[in-house]
Amino acid sequence: MNTKRSIMLGVFIVVTLGVVLSRFYLNVQDEHWDEKSKAVEKAYEKSIMTKATNVDFFYGDEPLQIVYGEDKLGQGVIVWVSDKDTHTEMTADAITEDQVRETMLKKDADFEIERVIPGKLGQEYVWEVFYKKQEDSGTRYFYDYYKFKDGSYLDTYRLSLH
């Protein structure tokens, strides 16, 4: 009888903990999902985008939401959304993420790319490449920036060793 009661208590604790943790996760994610929804709404209002497929977050001089999607003709569109304004580019008028990755590999193949996303460096719309490289003294992280439209190299930010 005592073992059965212990098992029931254990099941109750596990179920309660599961419910509490899932509610906590949903509450934390609600704000993130709201930001994405607002960015998509703003992209629809302020650009030619009619269908959004993804939203990324870029943290540079100012936080941006990068909304990927299409116009009414099905052509690729990317919209940079900030609190201040929006900026739209047709994907056909720019180099692609794959082309940026190829450029990086031509430069040096001895690194691991973590992510490639559109962003903004100063007043320039860019592709930001975040990557890590093993050095004798440890792992170092870098940000490379390429112009969004033509892929020309702009700058590299080198972070401290980890």
Confidence of residue 1 (pLDDT cuts 50, 70, 90): low
What per-residue confidence (pLDDT) applies to 137? 84
DSSP 45: H
Instruction: Tell me how far apart the alpha carbons of residues 43 and 139 are, in angstroms, rounded to a whole number.
Output: 38
C-alpha closest to that of 119 among 104, 129, 107: 129
Q: With left for phi above 0 and alpha for psi between -120 and 50, is residue 122 left, alpha or beta?
A: left
Length of the chain equals 162
68-95: average pLDDT: 95
Matching CATH number, 2-91, of 3.90.1310.10, 1.10.287.1080, 3.10.450.40, 1.10.760.10: 3.10.450.40
**Residue 69 exposed, middle or buried by CB count within 10 Å (0-12, 13-18, 19+):** buried
Instruction: Report the CATH architecture of 97-161.
Output: Roll (3.10)
Q: C-alpha distances in angstroms, 159 versus 38, 94, 156?
A: 32, 28, 10
Question: Tens of pLDDT along 55-79?
Answer: 999 998 889 999 999 999 999 999 9
- Tell me if the pTM is above 0.75: yes
**Domain ranges, ordered by start, for the chain:** 2-91, 97-161
2-91 and 97-161: same fold?
yes
Is 48 a residue whose pLDDT tops 90?
yes
